[in-house]
Amino acid sequence: SQQGEEDPQALSIQEGENATMNCSYKTSINNLQWYRQNSGRGLVHLILIRSNEREKHSGRLRVTLDTSKKSSSLLITASRAADTASYFCATVNSGANNLFFGTGTRLTVIP
Amino acid sequence: EAQVTQNPRYLITVTGKKLTVTCSQNMNHEYMSWYRQDPGLGLRQIYYSMNVEVTDKGDVPEGYKVSRKEKRNFPLILESPSPNQTSLYFCASSPRDRGLVVLTFGAGSRLTVL
């Protein structure tokens, strides 16, 4: 399988705290993306980081990428109850145009 | 509204009864893909299509068929469903701008095979 793996599998924090999720993958990538899924619904694209980028920001989201370690992290700052969802990383491998998803991190933000 | 539409959203069927899950997108996207989602296994790709008449197997294609005769439609066919195909299915599409694939997902189709 070419899937990545997210860590932790589940994370529970208080509203206002920061949440950090990690993703590890196996092959060389063209880019890495993070998606969010509210319970049982379709995934929504959050942010994309290319292989030659190290950090990217979008609102309260910060993504880092370390290609030497084949890992990425997603930081959500000042979390809100509405951030409760599952978060998935997805990689587009070098030389390919296909996405492979990880197994996801279930984030619960307690009001 | 730009969207990916899947039907049916919910279906209960019996082993061996052929069924089709339709997927349609109105964004003129070249790339379309089917995933299944099972607890603890994340999303696994079944089939994908880079463009009309071009389809390829994903990680778990066994027991499924697809076709891409028109750009907007990418139906998923289960010729003889079995209980291990009980799952939540997602269709997704993407433009292929500069080779990038960024997916827009449908709302999902929950299939139960008895």
CB B109 within 8 A of CB B88: yes
Least trusted range by pLDDT, from A4-8, A35-39, B37-41: A4-8
Cβ-nearest to A31 among B96, B100, B110 = B100
Query: CB distance A41–B107 less than 8 Å?
Result: yes
Cα–Cα dist A34/B24, whole Å: 24
SS3 state of residue B39: coil
- Residues in chain A closer than 8 A to B42 (CB atoms): 3, 88, 101-104
CB B7 within 8 A of CB B21: yes
Cβ-nearest to A42 among B31, B44, B106 = B106
The per-residue pLDDT for A99 is 85
Cα–Cα dist A90/B96, whole Å: 16
Neighbours of B6 (CB within 10 A): 23
CB B18 within 8 A of CB B80: yes
The C-alpha angle A5, A26, A66, rounded to 5 degrees, equals 85
pLDDT at residue A40 is higher than 90: no
pLDDT digits (tens, 9 = 90+) for B47-105: 999 999 999 999 899 999 999 999 999 999 999 999 999 999 999 999 987 667 889 99
The per-residue pLDDT for A7 is 87
Q: Which of A43, A87, A105 to mutate to test the interface with B (most CBs of B within 10 A)?
A: A43
Q: What average pLDDT does the segment B17-43 reach? A: 94
